[in-house]
Structure 1
Amino acid sequence: MFTDKNVAFIGSGIMGEAMIRGLITQNIVAPEQIYAADPMPSRLEELRERYGIRVTSHNAEAAEAGQVIVLSTKPQNLAEVTPGIRGHLRRQDLLLSILAGTPIRKLADGVAHASVVRAMPNTPAQIGMGMTVWTATPEVTEEQRGQAQAILGALGQELFVNDEAYLDMATALSGTGPAYVFMFMESLIDAGVHLGFSRRVAEQLVFQTMRGSLEYAAQSGKHVAELRNQVTSPGGTTAAALYQMEKGGLRTVISRAIWAAYQRSVELGQGEKVKGPA
């Protein structure tokens, strides 16, 4: 799939490195087939020593060297990056973007290239446990789809959708999702400390409870409501706790939060400026 194909990363931050690490550790692409571009020489030297890849401080050089070009810069840097690689992609090359809130049309117009994959990964991709939703333009070939799938699969699970509108939905649910989980975990830990546990013990209890519950749910094949009912005895402690959560409108708050994230993703894709809190 990647025989005689180089993968070039424009932007070599946290997510870029996660993809590089996944490609190498899973033997998808050899280190000498990977190019990384970044404006910081110290960062490039760090990546070169750590993974044995090729590095450059010039985006155009990386774009010309790669047959698959991964845009992994910060979204706000797009306007600075695209002029530098415009005209350096060949017709048969693939552009794969993981820039949040950046629609395909803006990417394609910015670099004057038609074969574009847009992907929305999340932060657990850093340990190979991510969830990435992606889509592609009609010009992307079957071979290129396979290449995109392999690259994104190195981050964890991947899911192809045939409508770009799903990317905004994925941004609100799985892309932003880890923050919701972390906040819930933080609340549980704080509650444990309030009960009298040390923070270290409270963290241990919460981390393993979350880890075990997630794995159990994934392996059980049962609806999560059924799993919840299994541990909710009539008049018991779980029932008392869930009553307070329902009374406080937990489901409604979560639903509204995700809808707000979705609306913001749509707004950013339309080029609206970020506004301060109301």
Structure 2
Amino acid sequence: MSWLNRVRQSIASITKRETPDNLWHKCAGCGQMIFVKEYEENQSVCPKCNHHGRIGPDARFNDLFDSGVYTLLPIPQVTEDPLKFRDSKRYTDRIKAARTATGETDALINAKGTIEGYKAVVGIQDFAFMGGSMGLGVGAAFVAGVEAAIAERSPYIIFTAAGGARMQEGILSLMQMPKTTVAIAKLREAGLPYIVVLTDPTTGGVTASYAMLGDVQIAEPGALIGFAGQRVIESTIREKLPEGFQRAEYLLDHGMIDMVVHRHDLRARLAQLIGYLAPAKAA
């Protein structure tokens, strides 16, 4: 073997020990590269530009509940693929792929625990699961979360993140809008608070139903919140929309939500609200 081939082989062996792909995170806000460990320790908030990244149920629950201790609620069983839907792929294949990628059964997960000593039932929508889309599973999980809150005599807190209704379930997905609205009415009849935390993005039929019916409406900084997309609205009304339209800060300025709260302050703010609205602490 020539010396040149030996050099080439040694170089090849070095390239196999390249930096792992998951060591760095590129911020979607400023484009800066951040150590993943630093990013996750900062609750997936960019330390340079304060951009709030999207996070899943596990991280949310760990950050929110006291000592990261919580109990997951059972996942309601619903009919899968009720319309036998197929586009470029079968709907059942899309569900399997989403479950493999996220480890979740559907886009809404409920858990119960305490937040600074106050009992709470919390629902988290995961945008990573088919865009957080609302179908039979999400509707059933939302109702189950409300029923658990009534049984626990605690508030129900929902973290929304969705592209809207799930198109593969057609009219059945749209029927979840009145279904969840009735569940909220039952929660109010029980005298219990319903708190909504709007995260990026919250759009479509979710915005048109349970996402905008909270007793208190909170949003994370910079979250996209709306019904139709900006380009659709502009082409419909034939006007240019204002800068920052459909962002959390714009909605706050125009009275659509009650407050914009940084992720680092969210746990304390929720505890404060629960203390005002449902002051009994867990035994």
Please report the TM-score for the alignment, with normalisation by the length of structure 1: 0.29
More helix per residue? 1
Please report the TM-score for the alignment, with normalisation by the length of structure 2: 0.28
